Structure 1
Amino acid sequence: MHPTATTRPTITPGRIEEIAPEVDRLWQLILLDDNDHTYDYVIEMLGAVFGYSTEKAFALARIVDTQGRVTLMTASRDACEAKQTAVHAYGADPRLPQSKGSMSAILERLD
């Protein structure tokens, strides 16, 4: 039934309990490996977007290169989405002609 001028929606306590935990859940932003970006690009991008030191950015670049993915941060969904947007907006790697755009980063919810 849809609410009308004569009816009011009802909220059941069980439904509120289902929604509330979503707000407090943590998410991870995960960078995915590809062959279209150099280590220098990854290090510069992580420094610019996250403020990571060269050493930390290099360590993360090694992980994504060897393992195919690396967690960049764990935070609220909104915070992770904001950084994901920045990663996706960073642009192509000018060092590689085949680089056509930014690296890919995905969100995963922690359970």
Structure 2
Amino acid sequence: MSLLPSPGTHVIDETDQQLEPPYHLVLLDDDEHTYAYVIRMCAEIFGYGPEKGYAIACVVDSQGRAVLMTGSHDEVRAKQELVHAYGPDPLMPNSRGSMSAVIEPAYQGTGS
């Protein structure tokens, strides 16, 4: 049995196609949302367990930003819209709206 294509067969070389680069959805810190809010939002939007939600809340609080997910631009954009529509934190009287999240390329070149 031959592993070569039969004569007249068109072989598609999928390695020639460029794959879409991945993107990060990055949650930005603010003073209007509690850890409980971040944990609940992560569970409802991303399906994360409380431990992962708490870890994200800790990172965003200590570092000012935390990666929520990595995916295609369309996937990340859809989740960004859900984060921006999640609403204010009912536990914080000064919470005026949802948290902010930005989209960034997952791999940023170092330049040459």
Same fold by TM-score, threshold 0.5 exceeded? yes
Q: 1:48 aligns to what?
A: 44
Matches within 5 A, 1:57-76: 57-76=53-72
CA displacement, residues 2-53 of structure 1 (integer Å, 9 cap, x when unaligned): xxxxxxxxxxxxxxx9xx74x6111000000000000111100110000000
Aligned equivalents of 1:107, 1:53: Cα separation in 2: 23
Percent identical residues: 51
In the other structure, the counterpart of 2:25 is 29
Structure 1 unmatched runs, 5+: 1-16
- Residue 38 of structure 1 pairs with residue 34 of structure 2: yes
Matched, 1:83 2:79: yes
CA RMSD in angstroms comes to 1.4
Q: What SS is found at the alignment partner of 1:24?
A: coil
Alignment partner, residue 89 of structure 2: 93
When normalised by structure 2's length, the TM-score is 0.78
User: What TM-score comes out, normalization by structure 1 length?
Assistant: 0.79
CA distance in 1, matches of 2:68, 2:91: 23
For 2:27 and 2:82, how far apart are their aligned partners in 1? 12
- After TM superposition, where is structure 1 displaced by more than 3 Å over at least 4 residues in a row? none
Residue type matched to 1:96 in 2? Answer: M
**Structure 1 CA distance, aligned partners of 2:72 and 2:55?**
24
Cα offset for 1:110?
A: 2.5
Aligned residues: 92
CA distance in 2, matches of 1:77, 1:54: 26
Secondary structure in 1 aligned to 2:89?
coil
Letter in 2 for 1:105: A
> If each structure's helix is expressed as a fraction of its own residues, which one has the higher value?
1
1:13: which partner in 2? none
